[in-house]
Amino acid sequence: MKPCAGLVGDLNAVSLKAEELTDAIMAAIDAYEQGECHLMTGVITTMQLFMTAPHKAKAIIFRLQALGLMIETDEITSWIRSDGSRVGPTNVQKALVSAAAEHPLSFIDGDILFEKESFLRRVLELAEPQGHIMN
């Protein structure tokens, strides 16, 4: 069953910091490095999040899924700025996580995702002041 559009408002109402998404990513990496299988890593991480703050956990999970889909579909490697310079995903990791923590989720084609263009613009805005843009 696809999530309803009303869930998007609930998810966007939860205030998150980039560090909270980073902590969830690191928890998943730690579980994997401790020998958990790939599928169990997500289950363990999700259970840990839900035990401490269920609403925040749900927002983190949906945001990480939306970010993962953006990365999986190779959206971030196709950016070309107006001056012709490229942005490499390894150079904008902090900006990606920061944008994923704060950018509103949208209900698009039956899924909860980041609207591509506005999300990518936000990542570039966050990355540029930090000197992460490659020429």
pLDDT value at position 90?
A: 46
Residue keyed to tokens 């700025």: 81
SS3 75: coil
Query: What amino acid is encoded at 105 in this protein?
Result: L
- Predicted pLDDT of residue 23: 82
How many angstroms separate the CA atoms of 82 and 74, rounded?
A: 19
Question: CA Rg, the chain, in Å?
Answer: 15
Q: What's the pTM? A: 0.75
Question: What local confidence, expressed as pLDDT, does residue 135 receive?
Answer: 42
pLDDT below 50 — which residues of the chain?
1-3, 80, 87-91, 132-135
- Which burial class, exposed, middle or buried, applies to 15 when counting CB atoms under 10 A from its CB (0-12, 13-18, 19+)? exposed
Given this model, what pLDDT does residue 92 score?
Answer: 61
